[in-house]
Structure formats: C-alpha cells, structure tokens
Amino acid sequence: MSVKQNLENIREKIKSTCEKVNRNESDITIIAVTKYVSNDRAKEAISAGVTHLGENRDEGFREKWATIQEAATWHFIGTLQTRKVKNIINEIDYIHSLDRLSLAKEINNRANSEVKCFVQVNVSQEDSKHGLNPNDVLTFMKDLHSYPNIKVVGLMTMAPFTDDEAIIRECFRSLKKLQLDVQALNLTYAPCTELSMGMSNDYTIAIEEGATFIRIGSALVGEDS
C-alpha cells in the first residue's frame, strides 16, 4: 500500500482512539520511522502529510538529510553514541534517547542552540533495552541543570514486545506517572510536557495512556522499498 493509504488508516485509528478516551487527535504527532526505507519512500511520507521523520543511526540520518534537509522535522530515535553526537547535533530537531550525563555533556558542548530532548526510560527494565532505570529519573533530571543547551520536552520508552496488552499498558501508564513526577519538580529546563511512546504494534494503547508522539515505521512506510 502507498504511504498515503497507510496514513489514512492510521489517522482513522488515532481518531477513534482519541474519541474513546476523550483526547484531541491534534495532540498526537506521528513520526515516520524511515530507518529501513529509501529516500524516495521518506519523501513519499512527507508528500502524504507526515513531516516528522525518525532515524536511529547517524549515517542514515546524514544520508536522508542530504536529500530532504529542512523539508522535515528530524527526530533521532536510536541509541546515540557520545562520539557521534557531532555528526547530527545541529541538524536534528529532537533527540529521543538521552539517558546518561556523558551524553548530555556532549550534546551541550556541541550544540549551537537549545536541543529538544526526550529522556529515555527503560520502564520494563529489560536487559535488551537502553534507558534509565525509572528510580533514577528524578535525580537525573536535577543533574541536567548544568547543561543549558538541553531542554527536556518529555520522556520516551519502548514497551516489551508481547501480545499481552496488560503488560504494554502498564509500561505506558508507568511512564505517564513518571512524567507527572518530573513536572512536579518545576524545572524550567525540563517542562516534560510530551510522551514519546507507541510504535506500529501498540500505538493505540500508547495514545490511550497519554502518548503525544508515536513512532511508526512498518505500518506507515514499510520496512524497505
């Protein structure tokens, strides 16, 4: 199917989900995860109306940036190695994987202006996933005061890959609770108004639990083209 057809299906699901939980669908931003697709497929997403694109490798981002540049709002959604910050920092709009102070320091030192960041939290505490332990998030937030080029716009997590909806829902619900805890700190550099959670297989559950950014790859652009 075309990206446009996929997007229509996704938006219909977003609309019905928002109606179910009394949310406004305009509060949901779709990020097209384009890491497995060609530049042309990424451009197709933009033409269809999705202007937020997500990449998880600096090389993939640089390749697409060279062609698309400011036609998209760019999200770095993968684990970011400290030594590779310099390759993306002043072209990327959002970083979804801030999870350690060494990375915060490098972002702060390399950035020409304030960078919007999501702090990644390993809510499920799976060994295969990156991110902070939930118990460490509040302390981490306070420690970020030393880095004026970082603005924590929200939290990000990935739910376990399972068919058990209750497990997925609890993961997203826990991140929402943690968001409220961060907001209660009243940190000017960490308003934490956003939640980046939900992918192709679980974005409707994420929306029900408060997601504002959803990261959709295969259901929107496919995995190769």
* Span 106-141, pLDDT tens digits: 999 999 999 999 999 999 888 888 899 999 999 999
Please give the mean pLDDT across all residues of the chain: 96
What is residue 128's predicted lDDT score, i.e. its pLDDT? 80
pLDDT tens, residue by residue, 168-199: 999 999 999 999 999 999 999 999 999 999 99
How many CB atoms neighbour CB 60 within 10 A? 15
Sorted by sequence, the CB contacts under 8 Å of residue 188 that are 6+ apart come out as none
The fraction of the chain above a pLDDT of 90, given in percent, is 94
Separation between Cα atoms, residue 187 and residue 72, nearest integer Å: 29
pTM assigned to the model: 0.96
74 forms beta bridges with 53
CA 114 to chain centre: 17
DSSP for 73-119, written as a single string:
EEEE-S---GGGHHHHTTT-SEEEEE-SHHHHHHHHHH-SS-EEEEE
Closest CA to 96 of 37, 138, 52: 52
